[in-house]
């Protein structure tokens, strides 16, 4: 192709962010529509990438390669495999819903003598994050990936700290302080991980002489590039630490509950359904492909950390009083499943992990956005402040229930398939880990159903008696997500057909094959 499709897919939201920020302050409605149109145009380009990608073709397709910093061997190299295509599509699908859901979240509000939050900046920052996430999925030059992996922290910092949730029981001054704390904590955790990764990136260049993912992987596979065992392990740890913070994996997860609690619901979705996927994606693309022996060496410890994330996140979700913190700890548990599937080193586990990334993004978006609509009506995030909502807002309650059932991986909804594949893939190689991980499913049913019972059932509390049901804009946000959850729950083949060839290639990179079944199938 002569047209740089991958560059265009990332550049369009970046240019849209600049244009949105430049809209005059008096035309904030125009800024919203511009951001929405740009996100829809980006979705159209992502669909074009999906259509042009051949799952059975070469590993990296639609490639672009240009010299950038010649003296240091840095190139502008882009390419996508099936895993990247699926996650680019997920990102492009979710951003228009995030924008629509946050349509009024940054409207000016008089607080004393100052105006509260510029509308244009809110939507421009969302588009900037989209651009950086997409190019992170596309980059096949390690240095190029690192730049955008770190750069996305800047708009996210301002989205968390400057555009936090209005629902706060302790007033605006305390809310501003807690938003600042959450934003700084998010930034510091990820910067520390990024600095360790930078040291590892420099070390990789010293060893390999370039930053090209394809060239380094091919040289390692052919034996022309040899890394000392200790060198490979240290480089792996530098990369993995940064990705584990972003993922987030226990014990590097503590920034997430604060960030999601203090963010608006659309920004919370942006964090956990979009940005955090870069961490788990990078484990597949960089850790396993560049450092296969170190990946196998670290697998037992990583599986234990993933198992702790699953059980620990679910246990803490059960005890939460704040709706957003509950969803945050549930996400920590789900990311544990994703990391477990990646490092189970089986095709079922890695296919399930990739599918889990997609399905978790959709299910978390559905649950959190409906929760955001609920919180905006009542003005409180506390579970105890609700009761009997299903009697006054049945559509809101029904969509909230479907999002919750998807979160607990109910059969027939999309996350069930991915969670099942992860557990099967793990059990075939690590049966004890697989058995213990199933407790996460039991706990998920507990925290989701208790949440629904306490907020939606029982007597109608006076504070929610006049609560309106979902409006047209809100239905436009939620309904497509519900449809996707049902469709991919019944028929996940369109996604698995795209990701499975890339998973097989990843398995080949680490020189792993699936364990043979102990009992042969009957002929």
Is the model's pLDDT at 420 over the cut of 60? Answer: yes
The mean pLDDT value for 90-95 works out to: 94
Instruction: Based on DSSP, count helices (H) and strands (E) in the chain, helices before strands.
Output: 23, 4
Q: 224-233, 252-261, 356-365, 439-448: lowest mean pLDDT where?
A: 224-233
- What per-residue confidence (pLDDT) applies to 112? 43
Q: 16-20, 116-120, 289-293: lowest mean pLDDT where?
A: 116-120
Within a domain: residue 286?
yes
Q: 159-168, 296-305, 355-364: lowest mean pLDDT where?
A: 159-168
**Mean pLDDT over the full length of the chain:** 87
Place of tokens 């075939």: 428
The mean pLDDT value for 136-149 works out to: 91
Contact residues for 417 (Cβ-Cβ < 8 A; gap 6+) = 352, 355, 359, 488, 489, 492
How far, rounded to the nearest angstrom, does the alpha carbon of residue 458 sit from its chain's CA centroid? 34
* Rounded CA separation 102/265 (Å): 8
Within a domain: residue 31?
yes
Q: What confidence tens digit (pLDDT) does each residue in 435-444 have?
A: 999 988 889 8
Give the 3-state secondary structure of residue 456: helix
| Percent of the chain surpassing pLDDT 70 | 94
The mean pLDDT value for 402-408 works out to: 91
- pTM for this prediction: 0.90
Residue 329 pLDDT level (bands cut at 50, 70, 90):
very high
For 461, half-sphere exposure in the C-beta direction (CA atoms, 13 angstrom radius) is 13
* Rounded CA separation 151/136 (Å): 10
Residue 63 pLDDT level (bands cut at 50, 70, 90):
confident
Within a domain: residue 404?
yes
Q: What sign has the CA pseudo-torsion 267, 270, 275, 277?
A: positive
The mean pLDDT value for 500-507 works out to: 86
The crossing angle, in degrees rounded to 10, of helices 142-151 and 153-162 is 10
The residue that leads in pLDDT, 437 or 115, is 437
- What per-residue confidence (pLDDT) applies to 174? 67
Is the model's pLDDT at 466 over the cut of 60? Answer: yes
Is the model's pLDDT at 37 over the cut of 60? Answer: yes
Within a domain: residue 211?
yes
Residue 116 pLDDT level (bands cut at 50, 70, 90):
very low
Is the model's pLDDT at 207 over the cut of 50? Answer: yes
- What per-residue confidence (pLDDT) applies to 114? 44
Q: Are 426 and 437 in contact (CB under 8 A)?
A: yes
Within a domain: residue 247?
yes
For 379, half-sphere exposure in the C-beta direction (CA atoms, 13 angstrom radius) is 6
The mean pLDDT value for 339-343 works out to: 92
For 41, half-sphere exposure in the C-beta direction (CA atoms, 13 angstrom radius) is 18
How is 430-483 classified by DSSP, letter by letter? -HHHHHHHTHHHHHHHHHHHHHHHHHHSSSPPGGGTT-----HHHHHHHHHHHH
For 297, half-sphere exposure in the C-beta direction (CA atoms, 13 angstrom radius) is 15
Q: Are 467 and 356 in contact (CB under 8 A)?
A: no
The mean pLDDT value for 189-205 works out to: 90
Residue 8 burial (10 A CB sphere; 0-12, 13-18, 19+): middle
* Rounded CA separation 345/366 (Å): 30
- What per-residue confidence (pLDDT) applies to 517? 67
Within a domain: residue 519?
no
Q: Where are the alpha helices (DSSP H) in 53-141?
A: 82-101, 119-138
What is the number of structural domains in the chain?
Answer: 1
Is the model's pLDDT at 387 over the cut of 50? Answer: yes
Q: Are 418 and 406 in contact (CB under 8 A)?
A: no
- What per-residue confidence (pLDDT) applies to 523? 55
3 state SS for 283-333: HHHHHHHHCHHHHHHHHHHHHHHHHHHHHHHHHHHHCCCEHHHHHHHHHHH
The distance in angstroms from the start CA to the end CA of the chain is 47
* Rounded CA separation 255/241 (Å): 15
* Rounded CA separation 234/203 (Å): 9
The residue that leads in pLDDT, 215 or 52, is 52
For 429, half-sphere exposure in the C-beta direction (CA atoms, 13 angstrom radius) is 23
Residue 69 pLDDT level (bands cut at 50, 70, 90):
confident
Is the model's pLDDT at 385 over the cut of 90? Answer: no
Is the model's pLDDT at 115 over the cut of 50? Answer: no
* Rounded CA separation 87/274 (Å): 8
- What per-residue confidence (pLDDT) applies to 148? 92
Q: 281 is in which domain, residue-wise?
A: 5-509
The mean pLDDT value for 116-136 works out to: 87
* Rounded CA separation 126/148 (Å): 15
Is the model's pLDDT at 170 over the cut of 60? Answer: no
Within a domain: residue 517?
no
Within a domain: residue 516?
no
- What per-residue confidence (pLDDT) applies to 165? 65
* Rounded CA separation 61/46 (Å): 14
- What per-residue confidence (pLDDT) applies to 341? 92
- What per-residue confidence (pLDDT) applies to 111? 47
């Amino acid at each position: 192709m002569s047209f740089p499709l991958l560059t265009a897919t990332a550049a369009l939201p970046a240019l849209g962010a600049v244009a949105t920020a430049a809209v005059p302050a008096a035309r904030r409605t125009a800024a919203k529509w511009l951001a929405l149109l740009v996100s829809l145009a980006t979705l159209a380009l992502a669909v074009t990438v999906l259509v042009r990608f051949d799952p059975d073709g070469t590993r990296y397709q639609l490639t672009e390669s240009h010299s950038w910093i010649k003296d240091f061997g840095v190139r502008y190299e882009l390419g996508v495999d099936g895993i990247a295509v699926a996650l680019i599509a997920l990102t492009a699908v979710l951003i228009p819903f995030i924008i629509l859901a946050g349509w009024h979240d940054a409207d000016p509000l008089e607080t004393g003598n100052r105006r509260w939050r510029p509308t244009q900046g809110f939507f421009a920052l969302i588009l900037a994050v989209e651009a950086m996430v997409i190019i992170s999925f596309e980059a096949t030059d390690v240095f190029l990936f690192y730049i955008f992996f770190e750069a996305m922290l800047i708009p996210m910092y301002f989205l968390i700290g400057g555009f936090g949730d209005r629902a706060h029981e302790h007033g605006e001054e305390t809310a501003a302080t807690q938003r600042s704390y959450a934003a700084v904590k998010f930034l510091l955790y990820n910067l520390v991980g990024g600095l360790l990764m930078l040291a590892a990136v420099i070390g990789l260049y010293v060893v390999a002489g370039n930053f090209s993912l394809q060239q380094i992987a091919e040289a390692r596979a052919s034996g022309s590039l040899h890394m000392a065992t200790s060198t490979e392990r240290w480089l792996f740890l530098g990369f993995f630490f940064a990705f584990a913070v972003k993922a987030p994996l226990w014990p590097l997860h503590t920034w997430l509950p604060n960030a999601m609690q203090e963010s608006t619901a659309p920004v919370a979705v942006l964090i956990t359904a979009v940005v955090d996927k870069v961490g788990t994606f990078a484990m597949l693309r960089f850790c396993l492909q560049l450092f296969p022996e170190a990946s196998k060496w670290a697998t037992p410890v990583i599986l234990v950390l993933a198992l702790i994330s699953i059980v620990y996140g679910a246990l803490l979700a059960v005890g939460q009083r704040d709706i957003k913190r509950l969803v945050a700890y549930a996400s920590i548990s789900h990311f544990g499943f994703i990391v477990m599937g990646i490092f189970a080193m089986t095709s079922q586990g890695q296919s399930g992990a990739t599918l889990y990334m997609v399905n978790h993004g959709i299910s978390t978006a559905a649950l959190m956005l409906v929760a955001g609509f609920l919180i905006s009506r009542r003005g409180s995030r506390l579970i105890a402040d609700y009761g009997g909502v299903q009697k006054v807002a049945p559509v809101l309650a029904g969509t909230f229930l479907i999002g919750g059932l998807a979160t607990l991986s109910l059969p027939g909804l999309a996350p069930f398939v991915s969670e099942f594949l992860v557990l099967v893939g793990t059990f075939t190689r690590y049966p004890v880990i697989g058995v213990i991980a199933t407790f996460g499913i039991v706990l998920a049913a507990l925290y989701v159903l208790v949440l629904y019972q306490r907020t939606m059932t029982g007597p109608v509390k006076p504070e929610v008696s006049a609560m309106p049901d979902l409006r047209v804009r809100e239905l436009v946000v939620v309904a497509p997500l519900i449809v996707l959850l049902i469709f991919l729950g019944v028929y996940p083949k369109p996604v698995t057909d795209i990701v499975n060839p890339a998973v097989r290639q990843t398995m080949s990179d680490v020189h792993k094959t699936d364990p043979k079944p102990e009992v042969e199938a009957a002929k």
